[in-house]
Structure 1
Amino acid sequence: MPLQPERYKIMNNDQRWARGERVRPEQAPRWERSVIEKLATESIKEQRRSRRWGIFFKLLGFGYFAAVLVLAFGKGLLNFPLGEAEKHTAIIDVSGPIAIGEPANADRIVAGVKAAFEDENTAGVILRINSPGGSPVQSGRIFDEVRRLRAEHSETPLYAVIEDLCASGGYYIAAAADQIFADKASLVGSIGVRSGGFGFVDTMEKLGVERRLITSGNNKAFLDPFSPLKDDEVNHMESLLADIHEQFKSVVREGRGDALSDDEDVFNGLIWTGEQAVANGLVDKIGSEMTVAREIFDAEKLVNFTPQDGLLSQITDGVGVSFASGLVSRLSNLNIGY
């Protein structure tokens, strides 16, 4: 039966939509238009949220990258010159025990000295020392390399400045400088060699523990802490220490030259105050790094060239290497140091 025109006219839009007839958007039912508007609004909001999160993660990534650079390259990034660079005094810190696995090791100190000499704006280099000493080998390597670099860059002076303590291997390194400055209350010297350890023979007897040791070579168990001490072993160790002591004295004489006192007591292992060290020739003058930078180098700006480890390296080295090397050195009777 054909559709009556009159009936079609009286039908509303909802009725026409229900019958599947096409209607213009403005004629669509109100609930459908509301749903479409909500979907469009939510879509726009979601796009805005995604854009904001994208910006956030980009900034986070940039911040992480910047932090990695700072941790990897240390203070060098902060000293990047802007515009015309001014002359500065380069500082290399020799702090704490001088040994492999410690901040004051030969590789690190030499790298800092090399970078300082090669910087075209360096007016002078200062070894700022606060160390009780340490490894004769590490101290010797630093001394030799500092002297070599000093010869290659003869136009750039190198001074040592002592803070609280400059003993043993610390003074070995200081002897490589053109001049040595110290505070009047600084402790300087201890030019000697030592070796220490422990013996557990009586303890093992009291505990009823039997020592079983098999070697090939009469002296392979040299100064074994669980075996009785032998006179020939002691005599040999004393000869080793005496030889290393002579090497130390030779380096000090070479570095200090005519400034050093003729009194052999400066080599007996004692320490001296800064004022006393000036009197016996171990120190040239009383002063600080600022004294040297201002009055000698005429460059008051201080730039630290001491290489810095990244955060992760500091944690792993500090917990692993230092603990292991410290434990071994305390149990071994072959622990020789300045």
Structure 2
Amino acid sequence: MRLPIPFAPRPPLVSVIRLQGAIGMGARGMNDAAMAAPIERAFRKGKPAAVALQINSPGGSPTQSALIAARIRRLSEEKGVPVFAFVEDVAASGGYWLATAADEIIVDANSITGSIGVISASFGLTEFIQKHGIERRVHTAGESKSFMDPFRPEKPEDVARLKALQKVIHGNFIDQVKSRRGPRLAEGADLFTGDIWVGPQAVEVGLADAVGHLVPTMKARFGDKTRFIVHGPRRSLLRRLGAEAVTGAVGAAEERAMWARFGL
């Protein structure tokens, strides 16, 4: 029987936070409220030598992306704990926003990163409802309350207003990337068009730092005896029993569409 030696130093600990799925997509999506507790535990429990983010996300809500990333940065600075992001299949759009919360970004040779842009998608159903004899009735107080109504003809002034709003959010995204990646970004590269890069390409343009994987990279940095603890959100009883299957059907379809944009 081996007895523990009092006051013997323990091997370094790396706390792993899994950031998986679309961001802010209703009950199914990743959001700041759901991730707050596991992120806090990752930084506070066991005096970690580092926090590793396992990211696999096609993006989603810019606000929730910003809130999660800001929480990670706040705790990293408060605790003096470095953060490493490891991209799996994809860290695009809001998923890449999350990756910028790390001090270093490591990708797989096949990882998709980037998509630094803003998108808004909808449908125009005006002719459909007319064909089926459906009358659209809208009453508002405030001329902009029916902004971009998919059941009414598209208005040029609505499109112009939407693009103006997107420009502000896009500017915030660009500021985030520049503030976190700074001089590592390749000079002259147009990185903010919404384009994507694969594996080593992302390293070449400065959106990532290296190609590698979580366990070997962390062991190379902190030693072969490095320990790992994974932190993630706890699922509710209803979710464990599948009771959210019906209410989450629309969100699931939207999330599948987001993954499909990257061939996944």
- Name the TM-score class by shorter chain: 0.7 to 0.9
Q: Is the 8 A contact 2:28 2:251 kept in 1?
A: no
Percent of pairs with identical residues: 36
Aligned residue for 1:73? none
Aligned residue for 1:312? 238
Select the structure that is richer in helix: 1
- Return the alpha-carbon distance in structure 1 between the equivalents of residues 241 and 199 of structure 2: 35
Q: 1:129 and 2:55 equivalent?
A: yes
Deviation of residue 258 (structure 1)?
A: 1.0
Q: 1:101 and 2:27 equivalent?
A: yes
Gaps of at least 5 residues in structure 2 are 256-264
Aligned residue for 2:172? 247
Q: How does 1:273-312 map to 2 (within 5 A)?
A: 273-298=198-223, 300-312=226-238
Q: 1:228 and 2:228 equivalent?
A: no
Aligned residue for 1:179? 104
Counterpart of 1:160 in structure 2: which amino acid? A
Deviation of residue 251 (structure 1)?
A: 0.3
The verdict on how the C-alpha distance between 1:268 and 1:122 changes in structure 2, with shifts beyond 3 A counting, is same
- Return the alpha-carbon distance in structure 2 between the equivalents of residues 321 and 315 of structure 1: 13
Which 10-residue stretch deviates more, 318-327 or 216-225? 318-327
The TM-score with structure 2 as length reference comes to: 0.86
Q: Is the 8 A contact 2:12 2:222 kept in 1?
A: no
Q: 1:153 and 2:79 equivalent?
A: yes
Alignment counterpart, residue 129 of structure 2, candidates 199, 204, 207 = 204
- Return the alpha-carbon distance in structure 1 between the equivalents of residues 111 and 240 of structure 2: 29
Answer with 1 or 2: which has the greater Rg: 1
Aligned length in residues: 248
Which 10-residue stretch deviates more, 118-127 or 140-149? 118-127
Deviation of residue 132 (structure 1)?
A: 0.3
Deviation of residue 240 (structure 1)?
A: 0.4
Relative contact order, CA 8 A, sep 6+: which one is greater? Answer: 2
- Return the alpha-carbon distance in structure 1 between the equivalents of residues 250 and 198 of structure 2: 34
Counterpart of 2:172 in structure 1: which amino acid? Q
- The SS at the match of 2:19 is strand
Q: Is the 8 A contact 1:101 1:317 kept in 2?
A: no
Deviation of residue 327 (structure 1)?
A: 7.8
The TM-score with structure 1 as length reference comes to: 0.68
Gaps of at least 5 residues in structure 1 are 1-81, 330-338
